[in-house]
Structure 1
Amino acid sequence: MPPQPWPTGDVEQIEPLIARVLAANASPFTYTGTQTYLVGTTDLAVIDPGPDDAQHIEALTRAIAGRSVAAIMCTHTHRDHSPAARGLAEATGAPIIGCAPLHIHSDAPRADAPFDQDYAPDRVLDDGEAMTGTGWTLRALATPGHTSNHLCFALEESDALFTGDHVMGWSTSVVMPPDGDMGDYLASLALLYTREDRIYYPAHGPAVEKPRQLVRGMVGHRRARERQIMRLLAEEPRSIAAMVPIMYKGVDEGLWPAAGQSVLAHLQQLERSGTVVCSEDIWAIN
C-alpha cells in the first residue's frame, strides 16, 4: 500500500481527456480502492462507477460538475465496480452501458467482491462496439477470464486502455471458478499483448506505463504456477487442499481457501487439455 493520505473523493486530472476519482473501499483485494474514470471535457463517459456508496456517488457528482453524461460504463459486475451505476444514473439521467449482466451463485470462498445481482444495463456493448462523445471514442474489447463478462475500453484519441480488473498495476487478477476461467484469461492477455496501447488505467492501483512488459510478466507468472502444479502432481496425486500450503507457503492462511479456487482454475484448464484428471477430489497427471 502507498503511504496515506490517499486522494479518496478528489478529482485527479491525469490527462486532458481523463480524470480519476478514488472510492473509499480500500481492502487487501482492492488496494487503495476502486478508481472511477471520467472521460471527456464537455460530455462525459464514467467508467467503473464503483461501489454503492453515497459519498462516492456525491464525489462523482461533484466531479461531473453539471456536465452531461453520455454513458455510465462498467467493465464487469463485481460489487466494487458496478453498483454505483444505479445511483449515478438517477442523479444524471445517463444510460448504463457496457458489460452484460451476470448472475453467478456459488458458495465457494472468494478473494474478490461477489457479483452485483441488480446490474441492469440499458445497452450491452459487443466486442468492437464503440461509444462516442465530443472529442472521445471508447471502444469495447472483450477480455473474459477474470469474469466471463469482462470488457476493457480503449480510448482511441490517446491510445489508453481502461483495463478494469483484467490487468492491474499492483497485483495479478483473481481468476476463480465457477465464472473465472484460466484459459479465457490467458487468451485475453495474449490479445492485449498484440495491441500497442500506450498506457493502461486499471480500476485498482497505479497506471501501467509499460503495458506489454507487464502482460508478458503476468503470463509468465501463470505459467510458473502451472509448472508448480505439474511438479507436485508428478510426485504423487494430490488434492487441492494438499497443494495450497505448499504453493502458498508464507501467505496468510486465511487466504488459502481463495487460493485454492485459483489452483482449481489452473487445474480445470489442464483437465480440458487432457493433461490432468480428477477422481474424488484427487488430481493426477493423465
Structure 2
Amino acid sequence: MKSESGVVVLEPGLRRLTAPNPSPMTLHGTNTYLLGEGEIAVIDPGPDHAGHMAAILAALAPGERIGAILITHSHRDHSPLARPLSRATGARVLAAGPSDWGRSPVMAALAAQGRIGGGEGVDRDFAPDDQIAEGDGITGDWGEITVVETPGHMANHLSFGWNGALFTGDHVMGWSTSLVSPPDGDMGAFMASCRRLAGRDDRIYFPGHGEPVCAPQHRIAELIAHREGREAQILSALSDMEKATADDLAARLYADLDPRLLPAAGRNVLAHLLDLAQRNLVLALDDPSPEARFTPR
C-alpha cells in the first residue's frame, strides 16, 4: 500500500521508497528499502538528492532510527546518498568495497590499459565504512540480513537475503535485463552469479528498480536463457560477418531497440565478446577496446 509520502509497505517490516530519478535505465527510479521497525536497515539510499533523503527520514516512525546502510553496488543511482545519510544518522555504510574492488585479473588489466571505456554511472568516490562478504550476517531489530555476493553487473555487487526474500539490486530485475559493461561489468561473473541464484530457494526478489519479482526461479531461468540465447546470436552473426565490432553486432541484433539504449546494448555485446574470447570461442583481432574487431575461432 502506497502512502501520500510515497512509502510503500511491501510486507510486515519492509517499506520501499522510490527515488525521483526515472530514466530509460532506472525505470521509475531507484528503490530504497527500509527493513525492520525501531532500528532500521536501509538498502540502497540512492542518488545524492536532498528531497529523497528527506523522504527517507520522514518515513521513520517516532522513535525509529537508522542502524545500518547497506549498498548493493556503487553506481551513482544507488550509493551517493549513503554518506550524507550516514552523517545525518550516525549509521555505518556497509558494502563489498569501493568502486574498483573485486575486479577479475582480466578486467583489472583492461581497466589499467584505459582503452576499454566503460565507467557508466560509477560512484568513483564511494568507500564503505565496513566491508562485508559472502555469508556475513548483519543483525539488528530487522532480524538478520545475509550477504550474498553477486558480481557481474559490477564487481562489488552484493545481494541481501532477509526472511526468505532476496534484495537483488541491479543483478535481477523483472522489467529489464542488466547492463554489463566492462571493466566494471563482467559477463562471465554475471552468468556465474545467475547460476548461483538458480540454486537458491528465495521466495521473492526485491530489485533495485521496478516491482518485486514474485516468481524468482522462473525469472532467473529466463535471464540465463536470454543471455545464452544472445551469446548464440552473437556467434551466429559473427560467423556470417566474419569479423565485426561490438557496435556492428549490436546494430544487427538490436534493430528494434530504442535508439537511446543502443550504446548500452553495444556494451553488453562487448561484455559477451570478451567472455567468449576468454573461453576461446572468438578471437580478438585488435587490442581490447570498443572499436576492437572479433572473428570466430
Task: Compute the TM-score of the two structures, normalised by the length of structure 2.
Answer: 0.89
The separation in 2 between residues aligned to 1:35 and 1:76, in whole angstroms, is: 13
Which digits, 9 at most, give the CA deviation of each residue in 1:16-67, with x for residues without a partner?
1111111100100000000100001111100000000000000000112341
Distance 1:113 1:230, change over 3 A: closer
Among 285, 290, 295, which residue is 1:279 paired with?
285
Instruction: Report the CA distance between 1:9 and its aligned residue.
Output: 5.2
Whether the 8 Å contact between 2:238 and 2:244 is mirrored in structure 1 is yes
Distance 2:245 2:170 in 1: 29
SS of 2:233 mapped into structure 1: helix
Note if contact 2:39-2:66 (Cα within 8 Å) is conserved in structure 1: yes
How far the C-alpha of 1:253 sits from its partner, in A, is 3.1
TM-superposed deviation, 1:223: 0.7
Whether 1:18 aligns to 2:14 is yes
Task: Decide whether the 8 Å contact of 1:152 with 1:162 is kept in 2.
Answer: yes
Q: What is the aligned partner in structure 1 of residue 261 from structure 2?
A: 255
Q: Which residue of 2 aligns with 1:171?
A: 176
Contact 1:199/1:209 (<8 A) preserved? yes
Cα-to-partner distance string for 1:189-214 (whole Å, 9 max, x where unaligned)? 00001000000000100100000100
| 1:57 corresponds to which of 32, 36, 53 | 53
SS state at 1:36 partner? strand
1:261 CA drift (Å): 1.1
Aligned to 2:207: 202
CA distance in 1, matches of 2:258, 2:122: 24
Residues 149-207 of structure 1 deviation map (CA, whole Å, 9 limit, x = unaligned): 0000000xx20100000001110111111110001000000000100000000010010
Q: Residue 122 of structure 1: CA displacement?
A: 1.1
In 1, Cα distance between equivalents of 2:70 and 2:99: 15
Matching residue of 1:184: 189
- What is the root-mean-square deviation of aligned Cα atoms in Å? 1.9
Q: Are 2:99 and 2:127, in contact at CA under 8 Å, matched by a contact in 1?
A: no
Q: CA deviation at 1:258?
A: 2.4
- TM value normalised by structure 1: 0.92
Query: CA, structure 1 residues 171+7, in 2 after alignment: closer, same or farther (shift >3 Å)?
Result: farther
CA apart distance, 1:107 = 7.9
- Decide whether aligned partners of structure 1 residues 138 and 263 sit closer, same or farther in structure 2, where only a CA change above 3 A counts: same
The reply on whether 1:127 has 2:116 as its aligned counterpart is no
Query: 1: distance between equivalents of 2:259 and 2:74?
Result: 28
Distance in 2, Cα, partners of 1:90 & 1:107: 37
Select 2:36's aligned residue among 31, 37, 40: 40
SS in 2 for 1:64: coil
Task: Classify the secondary structure of the residue corresponding to 2:87.
Answer: helix
Which ranges in structure 1 are unaligned for 5 or more consecutive residues? Answer: 1-5
Task: Give the number of aligned pairs.
Answer: 278
Paired residues of 1:109 and 1:258 also in contact (CA < 8 A): no
Aligned twin of 1:3: none
Distance change >3 Å, CA 92–CA 172, structure 1 → 2? same
Q: 1:86 to 1:13 in 2, by over 3 A?
A: same
Shift of residue 254, structure 1, vs aligned partner: 3.8
Letter in 1 for 2:15: A
Q: Compare 58-67 and 99-108 and name the one that shifted more.
A: 99-108
Deviation at 1:8, TM superposition (A): 9.0
AA of the residue aligned to 2:25: F
Query: Contact 1:9–1:56 (CA<8 Å) still a contact in 2?
Result: no
**Amino acid in structure 1 at the alignment position of 2:17:** V
Contact 2:32/2:46 (<8 A) preserved: yes
| 2-structure distance, mates of 1:152, 1:163 | 5
Match of 2:161 in 1: 154
SS of 1:204 mapped into structure 2: coil
The one-letter amino acid paired with 1:53 is H
Instruction: Flag structure 2 segments of 5+ consecutive residues without an equivalent.
Output: 101-110, 287-291
For the 8 Å contact 1:9–1:22, the answer to whether it is kept is no
The Cα of 1:135 is off from its aligned counterpart by 4.7
